[in-house]
Amino acid sequence: MNEDLQSLERNHTWTLVKPPSGKRIVGCNWIFKKKVDGSRLESFRYKARLVVKGYSQVQGVDFNEVFSPVVKHTSIRVLLSLEAIKDLELEQLDVKAAFLHGDLEEQIYMKQPEGFEVVRKENHVCLLKKSVYGLKQSPRQWYKKFDSFMISINFSLSNYDCCVYFKKLSSEKFIYLLLYVDDMLIAASNMEEIIRLKEQLGSTFEMKDLGAAKRILGMEISRD
């Protein structure tokens, strides 16, 4: 729980304010999970996450658009085929607390997290500045943030899949990035270009480098 709150604080997710009159205050809950680490089923870790009660949001007041794309399975299979044919390097990354990076466009007030109310400000509420897990618009706001970042570092967007990004490195060489919510694959023939892209991503987002890709959406990846 402390680890999750530290992520929220690092992202400047909210500011404490006095409850505004006539404004809806949404609640929040702690969600606890035991997550399997990697492909070893006997290895796991405990995870806590603060989640907004998004079911209480009202469309047109607390949110408008909510659609957020994810990479198509077909695109992943095509990338794996290219990787095999052209002997590309294939790396995998995970964005830590991805939804916390999205910028909110609506004014939303949330109750303070249970058990972590600020002393002498117990009656204050959180004015959200960034999206939080559970908000209906959180996936969309994260995608918009990531998409604008990739365009800013001169990547192009595929005409066939809006979660496939690529950049031309030379006459015949490209670097590719596929995004599935907070999970991404990067492929290129030049490992130095992959490392450079990792550094660019890490300068803006909190990333977890998973190294050579081994598993994606239930598919196991192995190389000879």
The pLDDT tens digits for 75-119 are 999 999 999 999 999 999 999 888 888 888 888 999 999 889 999
Lowest mean per-residue pLDDT among 33-47, 130-144, 172-186: 33-47
41 has pLDDT over 90? no
Q: Which of 67, 65, 71 is nearest to 160 (CA)?
A: 71
Burial of 113-147, coded b for 16+ CB within 10 Å and e otherwise, reads: beeeeeeeeeebbbbbebbbbbbbbbbbbbbbbbb
pLDDT band at residue 38 using 50, 70 and 90 as cut-offs = low
pTM of the model: 0.83
Give the residue-averaged pLDDT of 51-80. 88
Count up the domains in the chain and report the number.
Answer: 1
- Domain hosting 34: range is 2-220
Provide CB contacts within 8 A for 156, sequence distance 6+.
165, 166, 167
| β-bridge partners, 31 | 49
| Strand 215-216, strand 174-180: pairing | unpaired
40 has pLDDT over 70? no
Give the pLDDT score at 23. 87
204 has pLDDT over 80? yes
175 has pLDDT over 90? yes
Give the pLDDT score at 39. 53
- Burial-class residue 100 by CB neighbours within 10 Å (0-12, 13-18, 19+): buried
The pLDDT tens digits for 115-132 are 899 999 999 999 999 989
Amino acid symbol at 100: L
